[in-house]
Amino acid sequence: MSDAIEYCVYYEKDSEEILDFFPTGINPDTRNTIITYWEQEIPRKILKAVTEEPLTMQELRKKIGHSNSTLHENVKKLEEADMIRTSIVYKKNKIRQLKPRFLFVTKAPKFKTSVQKFFQGLWVNTQANDRVIAFLQENKHEFWTAEEIATKTGLTVDEVELVLSNWDSQVTRALSDFMKKKPFEKKTLYRGV
């Protein structure tokens, strides 16, 4: 994603309950605004849709349904709350494109994450592995965070982190048939707060 995302909101995939925020020291007013809009069905659908990819209003309507007036009303509320941002792009004509200010990412419940980490490396060649590697190879001109990969592949961030750490581990790769060149380049970024 080219625009900087200010916050990451983790939610449980099935219940859609918010599990965590990153950074953890998020302003309480911002946190309450996020929770308020997340608890509403249409704004939640909009936030999830624009997290996956920037969308025009027409693309948003195709993706989540609802009438134009309902979508415009909810998009306006989300813009006023500074939850999403609008930019103008030119593709034959002027198009309004919606982008998120926050990244909404699915995350497994803590007990499931613990189980996955316990068995880390035993199931290296999985569908999750294939999806992550395919996504990275299709988008090899940019660096992606685990959260961004999760939103683009439909996996939980825990699954993405597990796949990437398996490929990154020499021990795991030595115990499998993966002792070959990693299919991605790793870059770690740090930023002062």
List, for residues 3-54, the tens digit of each pLDDT value.
Answer: 567 788 999 888 899 988 888 788 899 999 999 999 999 999 999 999 888 8
Higher-pLDDT residue of 188 and 114 is: 188
Q: Is the pLDDT of residue 181 over 90?
A: no
Shared-domain flag, residues 99 and 46? yes
For residue 114, being part of any structural domain is answered with yes
**Predicted pLDDT of residue 115:** 43
Domain C-terminal end among 41, 69, 103: 103
> What pLDDT, on the 0 to 100 scale, is given for residue 74?
94
Closest listed residue to residue 157, CA positions, set 102, 100, 106: 106
What are the CA-CA distances from residue 25 to residues 7, 28, 76 (Å)?
10, 8, 27
Examine the domain organization and report whether 11 and 55 are in the same domain: yes
pLDDT in tens, 123-178: 455 788 888 888 888 988 888 888 888 888 888 888 888 888 877 666 555 555 55
Res 142: pLDDT: 85
Do 26 and 63 lie in one domain? The reply is: yes
Q: Tell me: do 60 and 92 sit in the same domain.
A: yes
Domain with 68 in it: what CATH number? 1.10.10.10
What's the domain count of the chain?
Answer: 2
In-domain check, residue 184 = no
Chosen domain end from 81, 103, 125: 103
Domain assignment present for residue 135? The answer is: yes
Higher pLDDT, 170 or 57: 57
Quote the CA–CA distance of 190 and 85 in Å, as a whole number: 25
Q: Which of 16-25, 72-81, 97-106, 112-121 has the highest mean pLDDT?
A: 72-81
Residues 78, 134 within the same domain: no
Q: Is residue 38 part of a domain?
A: yes
The verdict on residue 66 lying in a domain is: yes
Whether residue 99 sits in one domain with residue 12? yes
pTM, full prediction: 0.70
- Range of 25's domain? 7-103
Query: Model confidence at 111, in pLDDT bands (50, 70, 90)?
Result: very low
